[in-house]
Amino acid sequence: MPVNKMKFKKYTPEQYEMVDWMQENDGILLVEAGPGTGKSFMSREVTEVLAPKTCLYTAFNKAIVEEGVARFRGLNVVCKTMHALAWAFVRPKKINDISYKCITEKITYQQKARVIDAIDRFYLSASTDMYEFMEEFFTEKHELKLIDISVKYIEKMIAKEIDPTFSFLLKYFHLCLLDGSATCEYDLVILDEINDTTAVVLEIFKLINAPKKLGLGETNQAIYDFMHLVNGFEVLADEATILPLTQSFRCSENIAKKIQQFMRNDVNQNFKFIGTDEPVRNGKFLYCTATNGMIIKAIHEALQDGNGFHLLRKISEIFAYPMDIATAGRGKKVYHRKHAFLEDEYHEYEKIKRKGYSWLAHLLECVADQETKTAVNLMLSLNRKNVNLFDLYNQAKNADVDLDYTIATVFTAKGLEFETVHIADDLNSRIKKIRDEGGIQNHDDLVAFRCYYVAVSRCGVDLINATSL
């Protein structure tokens, strides 16, 4: 029976079509929801209309699921991450990361890092055959011995000889659902941020026994490729219906028009995004960057001006990379395991060290990623100003907090909204560089444009320094 329009809150035509489809059909519906188009609101509306006896709201990201707990209060909705769902079935005694110290074979640090990466990639993949996966992962002749080593440590986790990793839970749950040794049944399953999830989560989503499934997100906001995430809209395109939500209730008509033109010019000529005459006016300000290095620069400027600020991540995490660069540059052990490669890189630097060739110059020459370049340039800038990085870190820890002035990367600000957004220079320079080189040439370029789209669409009224629009 079609939904009675008069019975519910006023919907846009697109929102009405979404609710109507969910009521009239079984199967998977994916909703391409632009920024501020009411994705969260509509997830609750759909649940209220369908009134399922059992409903699962899930996502890869814990913070998103925690927001869902408040949104679905009073309804028959269980809010859990996929990891929590898997944990409830697997129930491991202890979870641990696998580090290069866990691998006892006499191989190099780089080879151990490759093994660890391969194991984690397998756990996050849709693959059900670890040998086949490893054979495709290790294609170089000198790496073939790493296939058996990788499989060995997966089998050790299965046999409970070593503690499982967090990602192991998902793969184990996936395989148990596949062979029928685990069951999971709901009347409705909602997978949020389906544009940024893992392949194994999508497999679990498909295997959950539920007549109605709803995936929410937007392809143009898929920006976490560096975490080996995948876009559910692409993966499930052949087995799902896809509907759009393009009417934003956040961005002003003027800002939305500029965003639409930006995306049509460079990304998709059919892109549609409509603003509102009642944009968000919450008094909140966002300084939005691409990297942690630019956050630190903004923190330094705020401290110089005597201003407080609000961060979306721990200060220790934001300062981690430049501080580890400085530590490795002294020939010392870094604080964070994921930056241990800097120790090896420093040994390489010492072999070729020459007059006028500094450790920071070596990193700029030999480690080409944007995070490294930004961190090194930040450190060079602080050195010129005689600012000690570790002193700045301590000052930042004790700084005043201003909840209305947020400094964050686009990756942590995603999903939030502000009256005013200042776009940092690193976001603008990346777009300019791509355009100067002839436009989008590869997937990394596309993700850079998506990041810019996410950054500017956090804004309701005042958009500052968005020179690429």
Going by pLDDT thresholds of 50, 70 and 90, the confidence category of residue 2 is: very low
Per this entry, what is the length of the chain?
A: 469
Q: Quick check: 340 pLDDT over 90? A: no
What are 156-201's pLDDT values in tens digits? 999 999 999 999 999 999 999 999 999 999 999 999 999 999 999 9
The domain locations on the chain are 5-90+173-245, 109-162, 285-416
H or E element in which residue 286 lies: strand 285-289
Q: Determine the Cα–Cα distance for residues 300 and 308; give it in Å rounded to an integer.
A: 11
Task: Report which residue type is found at 457.
Answer: S
Would you put residue 77 in left (φ > 0), alpha (ψ -120 to 50) or beta? Answer: beta
Q: What's the CA angle centered on 449, arms 447 and 451, to 5 degrees? A: 70
How many CB atoms lie under 10 A from the CB of residue 338?
13
Going by pLDDT thresholds of 50, 70 and 90, the confidence category of residue 102 is: confident
Buried/exposed 105-144: b ≥16 CB within 10 Å, e otherwise: eeeeeebbbbbbebbbbbbbbbbeebeebbeebbeeeeee
Going by pLDDT thresholds of 50, 70 and 90, the confidence category of residue 9 is: low
Assigned token pair, 9: 């809150």
Taking residues 104-114, what's their average pLDDT?
Answer: 88
Assigned token pair, 15: 């929102």
Alpha helices per DSSP H over 72-193? 82-90, 109-124, 130-137, 145-158, 166-179
How many CB atoms lie under 10 A from the CB of residue 445?
20
What are 367-382's pLDDT values in tens digits? 877 788 889 999 999 9
In this predicted structure, what is the pLDDT of residue 98? 87
Assigned token pair, 401: 């907090």
Q: Determine the Cα–Cα distance for residues 329 and 331; give it in Å rounded to an integer.
A: 5
Q: Determine the Cα–Cα distance for residues 336 and 41; give it in Å rounded to an integer.
A: 39
Model-wide pTM > 0.85: yes
> Domain 5-90+173-245: which topology?
Rossmann fold (3.40.50)
Q: What's the CA angle centered on 410, arms 408 and 414, to 5 degrees? A: 100
Residue 288 DSSP label:
E
Residues in contact with 332: Cβ distance below 8 Å, sequence separation at least 6, in sequence order: none
- Residue owning tokens 């699921």: 65
CA 293 to chain centre: 18
Assigned token pair, 181: 């040794």
In this predicted structure, what is the pLDDT of residue 10? 79
Assigned token pair, 231: 């876009």
